[in-house]
Amino acid sequence: MTVDDEDVSGDSFRGLMKSLNLDETQFKSYRTDFALLDFQQLSTTKEDIESQLSILFDVLKNKYGADMNTKLVTRDGFPRSDIDVVSIRLIRVKVIRLRNDHKQILELLNDKLIEEFANRRAAEPQTDTNDVQTSQATESRQEVSRYTVPFALVKDVADNGPAYTSGLRDGDKIIVFDEDIHAANHGKLANVVSRVRNSINKSVKVDVLRGTERLVLDLKPTPNWGGQGVLGCRLVAL
């Protein structure tokens, strides 16, 4: 994989990062065919892009008091004088480029996940019906453990809500929801929403990544717990 050290906005963007006492070399412009990368390389690049985006969003919010939707012009079409329009635009352009790369990488990771699972299934030896029934639960957990790519971020966990009670905390990343919803098939979280609606007052297993630790938690969607929703948290697609 090659990385072009020249950022999308060139000297202007690098100069801006230097003025903020940030290492401008950490902000990269990728000049490569992501489809040529293997699963590990894609995962590493995904994490690298997410780190860059996190820093840039923080700069927008805390340095410039803006986000990706803040209006930069007045009603009559002139640049606003109360904010640093030039700097905000430089950062926004970079964020858009990184988001596009991130989206492409996620799609490729999903494809490679499906391909990997299919290859492993094809390589597994055939067993008789009795053996399959005897080891069904164990095999199910082993299958789930193969998924490694998080697809949703847990945010705004309410105290004493269903999510909090289950052990979920802000910043947890969901890898598998209810044994079979993962990065390759969550449908922009639509399948999670549907599963939650059909699992009211029922326990569902949730595999999460907390830092470098993988945890398996039992989550019970519950209405009338004293707060909004049936989970007591927000899930944001990665």
Give pLDDT, residue 167: 95
Same domain, 13 and 103: yes
Same domain, 11 and 114: yes
Same domain, 217 and 176: yes
Write the CATH number for 206: 2.30.42.10
Give pLDDT, residue 4: 43
Closest C-alpha to 34, from 50, 47, 45: 45
Give pLDDT, residue 32: 73
108 within domain boundaries? yes
Single-letter code of the amino acid located at 103: K
DSSP H or E run through 236: strand 234-237
Closest C-alpha to 172, from 217, 214, 208: 208
DSSP H or E run through 142: helix 136-145
135 within domain boundaries? no
**What are the 10-residue block averages of pLDDT along the chain, 238 residues in total?**
45 86 84 84 89 92 93 93 93 91 88 73 60 53 72 93 95 92 89 93 94 92 91 92
Same domain, 88 and 172: no
Same domain, 106 and 184: no
Same domain, 196 and 166: yes
Give pLDDT, residue 106: 87
Same domain, 231 and 168: yes
CA distances from 15 to 29, 52, 98, 200 (A): 16, 16, 19, 53
Contact call for residues 167 and 201 (beta carbons, < 8 A): no
Same domain, 114 and 152: no
Domain count of the fold of the chain: 2
Contact call for residues 80 and 74 (beta carbons, < 8 A): yes
88 within domain boundaries? yes
Give pLDDT, residue 2: 40
58 within domain boundaries? yes
Same domain, 152 and 110: no
**Full domain range(s) for residue 216:** 140-237
Same domain, 26 and 118: yes
Tokens for 46?
A: 């995904």
Same domain, 108 and 17: yes
32 within domain boundaries? yes
HSE value, Cβ hemisphere, 13 Å, CA-based, for 94: 32
Same domain, 112 and 18: yes
131 within domain boundaries? no
132 within domain boundaries? no
36 within domain boundaries? yes
